[in-house]
Structure 1
């Protein structure tokens, strides 16, 4: 008898257990995965350490560019999961909007919620038209929810918002800080503060003919001359940290053939020129911690330090876990403008020095019959020249200035007040009012420098009066002699700057030579004025 078919055996699909729920991975965890990959950890080891599936870790590595793009768009620390990518138009709109807000503050113009929302919508529509059909699907209503998130990302404080609570928190915090310092046994040499600031590195006071010509030119965009700097030092004023510079491009043409590690700044890139969490964490681990260790060793101090930060979105909350020797303390929210040391004069003074140096360079390089015109020189002024001027301006800040700005938060560590900042501002106004610049006015300079209220700085140079030469007194330094000698110095320094791969060394030599011959430059300018 032939056997019939047996009972149907269930397939494998029916034997599977219930489908597991998908778990959301926070942006912070994704960035940690990418950081471990960059440090050379293997995929399986990362998965085991972080408690993730191997396939999840592999997927994060595949999508690393998209994850970094979202991080660079200043995703707030409070975000719990990455649900979608921010559109290109939205990211560009917020970047331009933040620059517009900074401009409004520099000009002391009032800004409020309604103005910012209207400006955001107009920028968004304009950018959609520029991007064409690919951006038409993006929508934006400038809602109150968006505005709240935007304020958190960019730490925006409006002119129509009261700051009573912030003032009270700022008043109480010095007592808290004193207790932290006493418990940790920190000296002023071991207490640090750093802060980020934007810099329009190729912007002159308004109404100079160079500035007016640039703004009227085709395709001018203010964002093209913007970068972000991280500046800081200790309360004693004897340790200034090497500036961190974030630029929109990793390899601009002006840096072709230049070794970035030899630059007088720490060079990092980000398409929005923002300091992101990953950039800040890398700076903290690879630059700040070693700098503190060297500083303590050189001054025979215990290897420990206190770093005071504001609560900006780019400052990770877990920095304490990255170093056993450095304690990180965060200021109360919305008190940075009131008590943070770098905001009490260091940043404003640095920007004044940078503008002064740029104007001096403009006049010096164009003063002569065979020299380029101001327009020609300004068109050739590139990011490499700006880097040099940033380093030189940062070098000019005196220890007394770096120490004096701690008066509001830790008055006991301040040794003495420095002189009024009006001196440097007046010298910048005098330079900007030079006839070569056209119609520059004092209020243009003040508006450009007024982005920060500054504590004082020292300095000032006495001018050497020029007397009439006695007839028949040999020898005589004529204007022609001085121009020829200074030209040789400038050519020699330029050769060193362009060909020495160690940028810090060439800048140190340039600083020393220029300091030594400054009396001749002043004499040359006096003779030129006297001749006119």
Structure 2
């Protein structure tokens, strides 16, 4: 009788718990201790380890939180659900009130368009499961307050400073992240969105769209590697390249809850812990992010030891609390566009051909340069509305400027007006291009599988010899000296020249 009373009850672990167990196995925790803590047998822990690849693949691609999911079962109509979710994001971006009945009606529409059948019911049970899978809370969309609702600010500030006090954080332990869309290989034309246009060919724009995420601490002393999401899983141009960014592939180049969670666990937490250790600071940090539908919950963005966590900025007062998305992200995008224009006029060939020759390698390195060029003072000032004490520098406007001469050169070569180019350069809203896609374009997006490679043309070149490299670096150093380059830039050229000299001596 005693043995029967002590018999362990059957327990089914959630996907989140299984993923936690895999993380702890990676830290060499024992099977027995994990089995006792989670109330399962050792054989269950072994089965989880054996199924590691399937669990981690599911976690990385899941669109929603995994706190309640217990199985890896996939949905029957993934294209329908992806198209419906994209439509939901578009309408939410426009603050359109959405009820369950409207969502079900749109689901039936997409099912009929995709399958050419009309027997899908979109029952109440299906709708609840869809909302659960994608973390949709219709009440957060229906009847939202206008943007920049001042009533949210003071309660958030009180909560923020209480969190800072509870964790005993300094500005170097508070991080600020922002994501934004970027149309990276197109300049204005009749297929591009400008501020004064009412219609848009969203599908054309979305093919050249990436999502970028920048993150830095409030003191401006630590900026993390940028996150870039493109449409291809393994761009050809990345072959044998040590990337300066964290790159991920998604069929619509959009942020998802799964990708954000992956970035948080594998990039943010690791980079922050290393930086804090190197600077003799406690292993505690807070990440400030937008309360967006494609972000996991604060609970999911918390480490097991509760020392690194996230806090959502209220949806309707982001601009009044921080200025990162209006200033620092805008600087990065403007600086990238400046490089794009300079590249466009640098070659003796049609600009369209030059732009088509650019690839994802050019993009990520240019973005990295733009992110690193941002002054630390600008990063510090991005939270001055929330935390004025950390910004001791005078308020200045940061801007990456492009000359009128370059604008005129591009305008003359493309027959695009200079004014349209300036509007685009100053900050055309790339996100609006994506969110104004038609239903047909959404269906085409989700029906196209994610590219293992990309369609970029990687121009074949002969391998550069060490001797040619030496001559090139010598010429580069002469040009740099004549144009008063900094000593750091000259030292870099010398280091590369010396590396070529060593290679030449070894194979001579």
Q: TM-score range by the shorter chain?
A: 0.5 to 0.7
The alignment partner of 2:17 has SS state of helix
Q: CA deviation at 1:171?
A: 2.6
Contact persistence 1:201–1:386 (CA under 8 A)? yes
* 2:267 is the alignment partner of 1:283: yes
TM-score by length of 2: 0.65
**Residues 420-431 of structure 1 mapped to structure 2, 5 A cutoff:** 420=397, 424=401, 430=407
The alignment partner of 2:64 has SS state of coil
* 2:296 is the alignment partner of 1:314: yes
* Structure with larger Rg: 1
Q: CA deviation at 1:384?
A: 0.9
1:525 aligned residue: none
The alignment partner of 2:216 has SS state of strand
Contact persistence 1:232–1:342 (CA under 8 A)? no
The alignment partner of 2:384 has SS state of coil
Q: CA deviation at 1:445?
A: 1.3
Deviates more, 1:118-127 or 1:348-357: 118-127
Which whole-Å deviations, capped at 9, do the CAs of 1:257-298 have from their partners, x for residues lacking one?
22xxx321133455665324244212233222112323x25x
The alignment partner of 2:356 has SS state of helix
* 2:62 is the alignment partner of 1:76: no
1 or 2 for the larger relative contact order (CA 8 Å, sep ≥6)? 2
Structure 1: gaps spanning 5 or more residues = 1-15, 454-493, 501-508, 521-532
Q: CA deviation at 1:42?
A: 7.0
Q: CA separation in 1, counterparts of 2:341 and 2:228? A: 21
Which whole-Å deviations, capped at 9, do the CAs of 1:81-101 have from their partners, x for residues lacking one?
448423421453256447756
Contact persistence 1:124–1:140 (CA under 8 A)? no
1:25 aligned residue: 13
1:113 aligned residue: 98
Structure 2: gaps spanning 5 or more residues = 195-199, 433-462, 486-508
Contact persistence 1:191–1:235 (CA under 8 A)? yes
2:375 aligned residue: 398
1:165–1:255 distance in 2 versus 1, CA, 3 Å: closer
Which whole-Å deviations, capped at 9, do the CAs of 1:380-422 have from their partners, x for residues lacking one?
2211111111101112211222122112211222224544467
**Residues 257-336 of structure 1 mapped to structure 2, 5 A cutoff:** 257-258=240-241, 262-269=242-249, 273=253, 274=256, 275-294=259-278, 296-297=279-280, 305-311=285-291, 313-314=295-296, 317=299, 321-322=303-304, 326-331=307-312, 333-334=314-315, 335-336=317-318
* 2:190 is the alignment partner of 1:207: yes
Contact persistence 2:63–2:134 (CA under 8 A)? no
Q: CA separation in 2, counterparts of 1:233 and 1:88? A: 35
Q: CA separation in 2, counterparts of 1:207 and 1:518? A: 39
Q: CA separation in 2, counterparts of 1:236 and 1:289? A: 16
Count of residue pairs brought into register by the alignment: 427
